[in-house]
Structure 1
Amino acid sequence: MKQRIRIWLRNFFGFSRTETNGFIILIFLMIIVLAMPFASRLLYTQYNKNLQSDEDKIQLEALLAELENSVEINTARHKEETYHVFDLNKSNVHHLINAGFPEYLAERIVKYREKVKPFESKSELLKIYGMDSSFYEKIYPFIQLTIIKAKPEQKFTTDAKKKIVKEENEQTKNAFEKVKITRLDINKADSTQLQKIYGIGPAFSKRITKYRDYLGGFHSLDQLEEVYGLKEENLDSLKKHVFIKDKINLKQLKVNRIDADSLVQHPYISYKEANLIINYRNQHGEFKSNKDLLSIKVLDSAWVKKVSPYLAFD
């Protein structure tokens, strides 16, 4: 039968054997495509029926009934809530919970009263984190407040506080001065040695040594003003106990041998200035001294004077 159909198709359409086989396959594919909508509807109907079985409906109704009962019970409990009288400045956590507060709010009220200050008015209760205004309105009629006055010796005027701080600073300063500190070479001292100086703690001592290494050494004590965070009093104390012994040992950049990326590693030199120096060198030859830098019109004399100690022209 199959062979007869193939022969008829070949004779009728003039197909070759390969074309005849392809045509038959194409017919089968078209039949499958046309049948797919009917098959999908049948499957969907069957699946939908399974989802909406009588057992599912019974379980769903049971769950809904249970949920409604739970809501009714919670509503009834909410209506049965009662509050009791309490003293805002005297009641402990247990008393506050009995008065109607949640445990977390009761603990925060007691902590605020002990760590910050006693309550001076009922409305201060609203400052407690988590205190809802609607709950405050419900609890308000049950609040009693015993005013607790602060002890007189705990109150200080602004001038008195300043005096106490000043005396403490003087005592600390005197303690540092009693310790004999030999003057230090700022380019050789480590962070531990610098910490012995009054006003220079671990953070400042690390910043000073880090910036010193970044620069390549200090050539002037005025450069200490560039260290981030050092205030005038810190600088005065520091300059009294340090000195610069030898400026020759500064780390210098060979301006005639390095590229722009190497130049910008120094904190005084930006990419703009580094590129200007390299471009001028490529066009006019090597620099012989810092005076040649002044030939670059964009660079001002103050900057050249500042950066010159860190440049070598050999």
Structure 2
Amino acid sequence: MLSTPFRQFFTFTTQQRFAILLLLFVVVTGQCLYFFLDFTPTEINSKEKLQWLAMQHEVDSLKKESKNNVPKIYPFNPNFITDFKGYKLGMSVAEIDRLLAYRKKDLYVNSAAEFQDVTQISDGLLAKISPYFKFPDWVKNKKAFHKNNYFTASADKKKSIVVKDINQATQQDLMDIYGIGPALSERILKEKEKFGGFVSMQQMEFIWGLSPEVIDQLGAHFKILSVPEIRKIAINSASIKELSKIPYLNYYSAKEIVTYRSMNGTIKTEDLIKIKDFPVEKIKIIALYLEF
């Protein structure tokens, strides 16, 4: 038997006993409902959701079509491949540089085999891009041209060329080039003024309206003889605002540079092609304004 001091804790009135039984009943009933009833909410498809589900098949087919979509390659003269064009074709930087060095000697490739000899591209890549090579008509019909007369005339013409400084050229100097009129010459001068002077003849490739033939003529008649003073920007410490002032860079590309730098650390020259939305075709020119 319990002693008198503890007995009061175990003595209940009729109402208390009823309350305890009622509580016990509620607990047991709740447990039973929890185990035997399914409380998973019934998914109600809204009208909008049903419309999206109906369109899912069409979306999947469009995704599949976009993955299988291969960019179309148009016929081109391989002698005028730029850095960006070569990059898109799958050529390495070294292969593109070999071609550009060959062209600086005022030499041309006249066949796919000669193109491979100069660039040293693989047989696989040559087989992939050579069907799109388009050479001048005289290359295909050499019998219609007298070889000795052709090269003699070319040599005489080359001797008569007086090379001028593109940064000192007047509008009339530019208009003396076949294919350049008042509008194009003014556009070239405006580009020069915007950049404070050209640092590379490759910049001609990025002036709208200049054909590859005209660019080639400009390269034969003009050179960079007076290099403008360049204020180099330290790419690993410059702010977005400072980087956006570099030629051919804008706020968004400068922001991507800073983002890449914060995630990967120090940026080197070879890292530029890894930066999102970086203008790869202008990488050599932009690098002249950067300090690594």
**TM norm structure 2:** 0.35
Structure with larger RCO (C-alpha < 8 A, sep 6+)? 2
